Amino acid sequence: MKTGILALQGSFYEHATALKQINRDYILIKRPEDLNKIDSLILPGGESTAMLKIEEENNLFENIKILIDSGIPTLGTCAGLILLSTNDVLGKETLKSIDCSIERNSYGRQNQSFEALVKFHDFTGVYCFIRAPKIINYGEDVKPIAFLDNEVVGIQKNNVVGLSFHPELTNDVNYLEWLESFILKGSNVGTL
């Protein structure tokens, strides 16, 4: 089986690079039939409104939602977190896979992007925030797993992880070990 990377728009090639570094086969997801041979999923950063508009043509997200609900490990970064949230985006319904509210572009515009120390899972690393969404609140069954100072920037609900930042742009050893454990072994799914 392979990891599927949503490839409608955004940083999907950077996630592919991370998967190559942990020797994981992947497939770029553009159509519902691309989902047939995956056992894990990554929703990349990019522009959430563009992704929602593009997928209208083939109802890809209906099939993605079924897979996520079936329990496959799913990671969403930046725009991927927006797609997983319970927020509608400009009148378009998201996947609603994590009970959380987010504020899009909350950390500023493109030219206000920054790198910062993030405590993620059981390690700390420098990660990129690019027009990042802010996690405003989250449900009782959602666990915070990443922090920028005292602010929650990463959450998990069972098999689904959403991050405000872009770990795929640095691909440090700690992140790659976490990714391997989460995607390949499933050992972090639902245990944090």
Q: Which of the residues 15, 55, 121, 168 is marked catalytic?
A: 168
Would residue 168 show up in a list of annotated catalytic residues for this protein? yes
Would residue 166 show up in a list of annotated catalytic residues for this protein? yes
The DSSP line for 70-108 is: HT--EEEETHHHHHHSS--BTTB-----S-EEEETTTT-
Q: Which of the residues 55, 121, 166, 180 is marked catalytic?
A: 166
Tell which residue, 84, 71, 69, 70, has the closest CA to residue 6.
84
114-120 and 123-129 strand pairing: antiparallel
Would residue 78 show up in a list of annotated catalytic residues for this protein? yes
d(CA 153, CA 150): 9
d(CA 14, CA 8): 14
Q: Which of the residues 78, 100, 121, 180 is marked catalytic?
A: 78
Structure tokens at 94: 């998201």
Which residues are known to be catalytic?
78, 166, 168
